[in-house]
A and B are shown apart, each in its own frame.
Chain A
Amino acid sequence: MAPSGSCRRRHDVVVTFAAFLIQCLNALQYGLLLFLVASGLTLIFGILGVINLAHGSFYMIGAYLAYALAPFVAGHFGGSLFATLAIGVALAVAFGYALEWGFVSYLYERDHLQQVLMTYGLILVFEELRSILVGDDVHGVAAPGWLAGSVPLGELMTYPVYRLFMSAICLLVALAQYVVIARTRLGMAIRAGASNREMAQSLGVNIRFLYRVVFAGGVALAVFAGMIAAPVSSVYPGMGNQVLIVCFVVVVIGGIGSIRGAFIASLLVGAVDTFGKVFFPQAAGVLVYVLMAAVLLWRPEGLFRET
């Protein structure tokens, strides 16, 4: 029995408000997840000066790690979420370290076009290695039991707890990143290396080691993002490519090398994408690029230019 008159109007307003709130939460969650991946990309780009098209592949690796580690962790550590994340991140750091040493360090002297193409080749290599090692099936990853419920929002709608958890953890990681970069010696070294590499080197900063750490950190961020996103987005081939292109948009809007810019830009892109899908489903894909073009035409070097 539908409520009548002003009762129904109030009901509709409440429902609409609840829907709006949910869309805001969706936008926030998507934006924060983007930030994790984009911050790694902007750090690598800003500090190492390397355009890494394979960054989306790290996200994909993270998701597949979440899927592959689940049985292993269940067997040895009782299926703890944090154990899976810890192992995944540790593996990612090791992998990033090795990749920088073996491949990325050769890209520093190359021009942007060569970097783009070599890392494009790397995407193909990663995709096929994944295909050989894990196959091409689409997999679901279960969210841990204590996060699998839903929170009621309003009378009819609920919001999955896991997505709230995702937003929370992304926010924590963002805060941790801020603390590291702004308040630690490592962060100081990173900022020094970003503004003047030679000077930092002559002042005793081990640039080689620093670059390796930054790259490993960037990889770890992307892998971590993939791992926590796995229950929500499923694990499927080609998932890296979609994330990659949106992350590049975020990095460019925010300004290359600027974490603050990446944060604001991720939230902006998250909002445009989410609300775009609702209000302009046909134009949803285009809107993010229109946003980027508009920002670049207003500020050709992004919103925040890190000096």
Chain B
Amino acid sequence: MTAASGARSAWPSSLVTWAVVALIAAFPWFGGRFYVDLALTIMISAIFALSLELLVGMTGLVSFGHAAFFGIAAYAVALLSPAPGAPALWWLLPAAVGLAALYAAIVGALSLRTRGIYFIMVTLAFAQMAYYVFHDTPLGRGSDGIYVSAKPLITVAGHNVLDLARPLTFYYFTLACLVATFGFLALVARSKFGHALAGIKANEQRMRAAGFSTFAYKLAAFVIAGALAGIAGFLYAVKDGFVNPEILAWHQSGVVLLMIILGGIGSLRGAVVGAFAFTLLKELAQSEALFGTFAKHWQLTLGIVIIVCVAAMPNGLVGIASATKRRIAPILDA
């Protein structure tokens, strides 16, 4: 994404990207049930991480309440699904994403007046509010969560064109959403809007002096990020058929921040890599095959790894990859 990655290096990196997509697409044919489930979880987390990347990496707004939009969309799926019978995808997805974007608009309008640590705390506050609404009021049916009775589908003239209850269909639908989100954000980054956001991240006062209404740009970014998080939330609710207030908890907001910092802030690939690395890390730390009985203390392993990674890799995994590439490049050129 930097100016240095000229025409030559842009081609191999997108080749790698497409190879990865192909690998993910082929995975259900050779992966076991559990690992396909894991791949789905990673893809959903990747979409969630990408949505936060728009805020943190591209606009410089560190939000500690991003899980709220994820959770609202997931709950929308659970609450709006008519029982019994399968809800229609064509209105359920926009409704869920729309509600998430609506809350993002409200939160953004109110919190973008603050900055720095106060902005972080206000976004946390609004996420906690949403959490408590679902946790304590009859709307959310409490801390045990709600079940989604049936998975959405699209019917055209009586035929099930797209039935998300079929695992393979759902898998490719999720992959399509991931690719679409990635592509969309890549386009945004190259657009005038994206450049304005980058300018705001670098120096907001200068942008304002140049005549940009930075508040409007920031709000737009906030709402789009909320909507994209909503897509991830929708997929999450459909995947397991179960939503729970904990998906709005501040731990979730922290975890998604961790994913993008692990992968590398400022890079879309970083968000995806971070989601993948974090989920894998969690699975490995919990694996009894690797750690035996110590596996039940997996949070210790995870905690130490987090500390080490954040301390040693300020640019994340992607940063390490490009640093290595830079070191190898002169050798390759010669």
Contacts and interface: CB of A to CB of B under 8 A. Distances in A.
- Asked whether any CB of A lies within 8 Å of a CB of B in the complex, the reply is yes
Interface in A261-302: 281-286, 289-290, 292-293, 296-297, 300-302
Interface string A24-58: 00000000000000000000000000010000000
A121 interface: yes
Interface stretch (A69-77, A125-133, A137-145): A125-133
Given A114-B261, A121-B304, A297-B110, A285 B135 contact: yes
Interface in A106-143: 106, 112-114, 116-118, 120-125, 127-129, 131-132
B129 interface: yes
Nearest to A296: B122
Nearest to A284: B136
Contacts of A121: 302-307, 310
Contact of A128 (B128, B297, B311): B297
B121 interface: yes
Contacts of B64: 116
Contacts of B302: 121, 124
Given A113-B257, A120-B258, A248-B121, A125 B300 contact: yes
B120 A285 contact: no
B132 A114 contact: no
Contact of A125 (B56, B121, B303): B303
Nearest to B132: A285
Given A117-B261, A245-B250, A112 B116 contact: yes
B314 interface: yes
B62 interface: yes
Q: Is the interface of A mostly helix, strand, loop or mixed?
A: helix
Contacts of A129: 300
A292 B121 contact: yes
B246 to A, nearest CB: 12
B113 interface: yes
B146 to A, nearest CB: 17
A222 interface: no
B72 to A, nearest CB: 15
Contact of B118 (A117, A131, A252, A284): A252
A128 B128 CA distance: 25
B137 interface: yes
A256 interface: yes
A249 interface: yes
A122 B300 contact: no
Contacts of B79: none
B103 to A, nearest CB: 13
Interface residues of A, number: 39
Nearest to B56: A113
B186 interface: no
B36 to A, nearest CB: 28
Contacts of A300: 113-115, 118
A243 to B, nearest CB: 13
B258 A131 contact: no
B306 A116 contact: no
Contacts of B132: 283, 285-286, 289
Contacts of A123: 303
- Which of B121, B128, B311, B314 has the most chain A CB within a 10 Å cutoff? B121
A50 to B, nearest CB: 11
A120 B110 CA distance: 27
- Which of A127, A132, A289 has the most chain B CB within a 10 Å cutoff? A289
B189 interface: no
Given A114-B314, A120-B306, A121-B306, A293 B110 contact: yes
- Which of A106, A252, A301 has the most chain B CB within a 10 Å cutoff? A252
Contact of B303 (A122, A284, A292): A122
Contacts of B276: none
B297 A131 contact: yes
Nearest to A129: B300
A124 B303 contact: yes
Contacts of B305: 121
B278 to A, nearest CB: 11
Contacts of B114: 296, 300
B31 interface: no
B303 A51 contact: no
Nearest to B113: A300
B254 interface: yes
Given A113-B257, A114-B314, 6 more contacts: A112-B62, A117-B254, A125-B304, A132-B300, A301-B118, A302-B118
Interface of B: 56, 62, 64, 110, 113-118, 120-122, 124-126, 128-129, 131-133, 135-138, 250, 254, 257-258, 261, 297, 299-300, 302-307, 310-311, 314
15 contacts: A112-B62, A116-B254, A118-B307, A121-B302, A121-B304, A121-B310, A128-B299, A282-B137, A284-B136, A286-B128, A286-B129, A289-B125, A293-B110, A293-B126, A297-B110
Top 7 A-B pairs, shortest CB-CB distance: A124-B303, A121-B306, A128-B300, A285-B132, A125-B303, A121-B307, A286-B132
Interface of A: 51, 106, 112-114, 116-118, 120-125, 127-129, 131-132, 245, 248-249, 252, 256, 281-286, 289-290, 292-293, 296-297, 300-302
